[in-house]
Structures are given as structure tokens and as C-alpha cells.
Amino acid sequence: MKILIVDDDRINSAILTRLLGREGHPVVIAHNGEDGVEKFMQEQPDLVLMDIRMPRMDGYDAARKIKESASDRFVPIIFLTAVTDEEGLAQCIDAGGDDFLTKPFNRTILQAKIEAMERIRKLHTELHLKKDQLEQHQDQLQQELEVGKHLFSNIVRAGNLLDAPCLKQWTSPLAQFNGDLLMACYNPAGGLHIMLGDFTGHGLSAAVGALPISEIFYDLTAQGFSIGDLVEKMNAKLLTVMPTRMFCAACLIEVDFRQKSMIIWNGGLPDLCLIDNRGKLAQTIPSDHLPLGITPMTRDDRKVRIFEIQTDHRLFLHSDGLTEAINPADEMFGMARLENFFDGSTPPDQLFDTIMMGLKDFRGVADQTDDISILEIDFSRPNKTWEEDSPQKSTKTIPPAVWDISFLFSAETLKHVDPLPTIINSLMSLQAPLGHREKVYTILAELFSNALDHGLLNLDTKTKKSPEGFILYYAQREERLAALQDGNISLKLSHVPLISEDDNKFGGDILICIEDSGPGFDHANVRSILEGNMAHGGRGIALVRSMCKSLTYNEAGNTATAIYSWTYN
């Protein structure tokens, strides 16, 4: 241990040098404070023995300067003093001294003090090292979190339509990562899929589950799969990847603005609130399923509820972080407090902001305890018109070619599978006309549901006209489909490429021919019945006709033939 002695008394210095030398410590000597500071800088000793009264600079000032220049390095300073009065000793400590040694020097005490300082110095060095390591780890962790956050937001937000005109949303994560997942995306028919998910816990571990879920949400929605299919896929995925004690309470909604209908699957999220045009609670829609990721699904587990929507109504959904938010008195916000907003005293279009303010006032200075999300769907603001047909995400353009595909679906298949995504995806993998996918999907969906609903299930469109009838129609549909024994639907798709002088202009005619084994329609009434469907504001044959080059029925009324022309420059 290299020791610096700062003392103007040469006899003292000599004694100390001899004592320390015997213990094997190399010694450096300075004769006044100024000299001491200088030698300290040059020699970088491990310990300083400091006299107090010296010419040029006294011990206190020298100690201060030494401590200052040592900064992070711990260099113990032991004051050599004749004084033992409290004030003098306090001054030593004040100047940064670590201990004192009273004159005359006692060899044993000196040795003990040096050893004690050595132990402290070692401890200090170790601590310093640990602190550096900790800081490095923290930096690394922070960097990894940043990368994680970047990936997370890109994957989860990919194609997110939360800025769709009908949606108002607010989400407040408790930790850096949000365990609440809020997504929205159009399906190929122009309907809007919306999902609010709430994973067990919060922070990174909760957010990790959001990655596979968001991928399934966007992929399957884009491919035209139904809410039931999405729910089943997500559940299966979470069962394989998540530990038992983690699950995802979720609500999936499909809003079809054209048909004025809404499909809801709610597994474990708090009651949804449907609000009428006076701002009053019209209906609550409670959870009727287990959350995702707990047990394998049965047919009943994927059952959705269908609602007719009124354009002056709106729907509120939230994660339990809202109702379980606490105020400084440790009371919960609760469902009753939320429902109080829906008493008709707040104009419907101000409800969202009023609830947000209400929550803020309620919470006051209390800490947030969970992720909070609130979402409003305003049915008066449909998301887009057909003119704004969004271009396909796929950039692949397949040169138009001649092809022909046909499908035959038996009653047994129709009972268990919705064949539309398969049809549209095989068509798209053959041709993929850019920007036409949604229209082709809609035409197929309309013709297909007419063949099934009216041809095979013999449902009457007129039933749909009243709100009760709307629900009745879908109840009948479900019942008849489950009981369907015979019958089939055959579908033929063929393509004729467009012949053009211009090499840059692509295109062709897609011929869609769909035949059901039902008795057919009263041909004379086909138009009036099916186009009457439009009067309900819904999808219908008139819509198909408006998008197609031609639409014709056979004499019996059980075969429809549509020609859709597409071009791409």
C-alpha cells in the first residue's frame, strides 16, 4: 500500500516513514499542503497521512483538494493531530478526513488504522466495480427493451386502422409494454374487425402474448376468415405458447356497415355498453365465453352473437383496468360509476371525453395499477366507400392467364366450414388482380350467401325487416343450417384475359357461376325480392349488379352467372 505523508515536521515524518517501512509500505513525503496535493497527483498513493497546521496550505484545504481530485476513487485520509477537542475533530471530518491519529504515534494503533482503511478501500473498489457492471447491465437492458418496443409496436400496429372514423380509443399502459391489445383491420368485404384483448398481468410478459395474436388477427382478417375462425386460431395458439396461469380476456367484433350488423364474441372482457341516441344505456353485452388460452375450444366456444346496428347508436368497450382503477381513498371506479355516465345527461358524442375526464378526476393522485383501455365505436360513421378501394397489400402481379376452377360443397361441408376464404384465396393465388380483391370477395360472398340462405335454407329476406326479425332471421339460419341434410352448392370460376395493344395494361374477365340444388326462385320476382334486400340498407344483389359487367339468372332461378372485369395499369 503506497502511503503519502504530508507533514512539515521532519522528525514526525521520519518516525512515520520508519514505522511504515517496517510494515513494507512504500512511502512518499510532502512537507506542506500544497506539496501534498502535488505529490498526490503525481504518485497516486492509496492512503494519505495528513498533518493539520502547515505553511502554504493547511491540512484541511489539502484534504479537500485531494478528495476532489480523487473523485470516484476512494483514498482514505488519516489526520495526524495533537488536538482531541471535538471541534477540531469535527473539522477534520468536515474536510473529508476518514480518521485521526493522535500524537505521539503508537505503532499498534497506526497499524490497526491502516489495516482498517485498507479493508474499507477494498470494499469500496469492489462496490465501484459492481456499480459499473450494474450500469452496464442496465444500459444493455434498456437497449434491448427499446428494440423490443420497436418490434412490438411495428408488429402489433401493422395495418392497424385505429384511426378509422368510427373509432375513438384511449389506452394507458402501466409499464413500458402494454398488456392491453387494441387492433382494427378491414376484412376483404369491407367490414371492420376490431379486437380488444387484456392479457394476465402487465409489462413485457403480458405483451409477449400479443405478438402471435396480432399476427393471427391481421392475417386471417385479410384472408376473409370470420370472427369465429379468428377466435379458434388465437385460442389454439395461446394454449401452445402460454403458461397455464396466463390467458387473454378478449372481445372480437365485426362491424358490417352495409348490412348494418355487428357480430360479437366476448370472452372475459367486462360488459360492453350499447348506447342509444339520447346517450342512454340501451343494452349491456356481457362476456359469455372463457377467455382465450385456457381450454381447447368446442363448437359452442366459437359461437358469436349477431346484432342489428342502429346508425345513431354507439358501443363502448373497456378493459378491467378502467373499472378497477382506484382513487386515493382506495375505492374502485366500478361498473356503476361508468354506467352513471349513460343516464342521458351527457350528449352521446361527448360521452367518450366525459368518461375520460371522469376517470382522471376520480383517480386524482392515486397510482395506476393496471393497463387501461377504452374504445368507442360510433355507428354513424361508416369507415369507407367503395370508391376508395384500397390497393392489395401484395405487390405481386400475375400476368392474366386462362384458368378455370370449380368447387362443390355438400350439405355436410357447409354445416361445418365457411368456404369463402378458401375460394377467395385460391382465386387470389392464381390471379391476384391488384385492388380488386374486396370487390371480388363481396360479389362471391353475396352470391354465395344467397345460394345458401335462400336456395338451400329457404330463408325469407322479408323476415329481416324488423329489429326482432333480424335476430329471428339469424336464429332460423343457424337452426336450419344445423339441420341441413341434403343439397349442395357448386361454384365455377373461370378467367379470360383481356387482349390489349398496350403492354402495360393488364386485365381480364372473371366469370362466376354459382348453382344451388334448391328449388330456385320465382324468376319473375327474383329482382324485386333480392334487390329489396337493399332497402334494408344491406348488402344485396343490386350491389353485386353495380360492380359487375353483367349478372344473369337461369330460368329456374337457382343459377346465377356474374362477370367481373378488372384492369390494372
Partner 1 sequence: MSGTISVTREESETVINIKGRFNFEMHSQFRAAYQEDTCEGKKGRRFVINLSGTEYIDSSALGMLLLLREEAGTNESDIEITNARPEIQKILETANFQRLFKIT
Interface region with partner 1, contact rule CB under 8 A, candidates 86-94, 113-121, 242-250, 387-395: 242-250
Binding mask 260-299 for partner 1 (x = CB under 8 A): -------xxxxx--------------xxxxxx--xx----
**Residue from 172, 200, 425, 494 that binds partner 1 (CB under 8 A)?**
200
Work out how close the CB of 327 gets to partner 1 at its nearest, in angstroms, rounded to a whole number.
14
**Residue from 100, 247, 265, 506 that binds partner 1 (CB under 8 A)?**
247
Looking at beta carbons only, is 324 or 418 nearer to partner 1? 324
Size of the site for partner 1 (CB under 8 A): 27
Q: Measure CA of the first residue to CA of the last residue in the chain; give whole Å.
A: 84
C-alpha cell of residue 225: 376468415
**Residue from 108, 154, 240, 245 that binds partner 1 (CB under 8 A)?**
245
Work out how close the CB of 286 gets to partner 1 at its nearest, in angstroms, rounded to a whole number.
7
Work out how close the CB of 145 gets to partner 1 at its nearest, in angstroms, rounded to a whole number.
21
Instruction: List all residues 6 or more positions away from 136 whose beta carbon is below 8 Å from its beta carbon.
Output: none
In terms of residues, how long is the chain? 569
Looking at beta carbons only, is 295 or 390 nearer to partner 1? 295
3-state SS record for 272-299: EEEECCCCEEEEEECCCCCCECCCCCCC
> Which helix H or strand E contains 440, and what residues bound it?
helix 437-450
Verify binding: residue 156, partner 1, rule CB under 8 A. Answer: no
Three-state DSSP class for residue 514: strand
Burial class (CB in 10 A: 0-12, 13-18, 19+), 214: buried
> Which helix H or strand E contains 446, and what residues bound it?
helix 437-450
**Residue from 84, 244, 395, 528 that binds partner 1 (CB under 8 A)?**
244
Work out how close the CB of 23 gets to partner 1 at its nearest, in angstroms, rounded to a whole number.
52
The beta-strand segments (E) located in 166-325 are 167-172, 180-186, 192-199, 248-256, 261-267, 272-275, 281-285, 305-308, 314-318
Looking at beta carbons only, is 11 or 336 nearer to partner 1? 336
> How far is 74 from 123, CA to CA, in rounded Å?
10
Looking at beta carbons only, is 323 or 380 nearer to partner 1? 323
Work out how close the CB of 271 gets to partner 1 at its nearest, in angstroms, rounded to a whole number.
8
**Residue from 15, 49, 246, 252 that binds partner 1 (CB under 8 A)?**
246
Work out how close the CB of 180 gets to partner 1 at its nearest, in angstroms, rounded to a whole number.
11
Phi-psi domain of 442 (left: phi exceeds 0; alpha: psi -120 through 50; beta: other) = alpha
Q: How far is CA 409 from the centre of its chain?
A: 39
Verify binding: residue 516, partner 1, rule CB under 8 A. Answer: no
Work out how close the CB of 287 gets to partner 1 at its nearest, in angstroms, rounded to a whole number.
5
Burial class (CB in 10 A: 0-12, 13-18, 19+), 481: middle
Binding mask 349-388 for partner 1 (x = CB under 8 A): ---------------------x------------------
Amino acid at 279: G
| Cis upstream peptide for 104 (omega within 30°) | yes
Name the phi and psi angles at 160, rounded to 5: -75, 135
Binding mask 18-57 for partner 1 (x = CB under 8 A): ----------------------------------------
Binding mask 159-198 for partner 1 (x = CB under 8 A): ---------------------------------------x
Looking at beta carbons only, is 97 or 209 nearer to partner 1? 209
> How far is 511 from 457, CA to CA, in rounded Å?
25
Work out how close the CB of 316 gets to partner 1 at its nearest, in angstroms, rounded to a whole number.
16
With CA atoms as reference, report the closest residue to 228 among 264, 201, 260.
264
Contact predicate 553/526, CB 8 Å: yes
Give the CA radius of gyration of the chain. 39
Verify binding: residue 320, partner 1, rule CB under 8 A. Answer: yes
Work out how close the CB of 213 gets to partner 1 at its nearest, in angstroms, rounded to a whole number.
16
Work out how close the CB of 168 gets to partner 1 at its nearest, in angstroms, rounded to a whole number.
23
Q: Which residues bind partner 1 (CB under 8 A)?
A: 198, 200-201, 244-247, 249, 267-271, 286-291, 294-295, 320, 324, 332, 334-335, 370
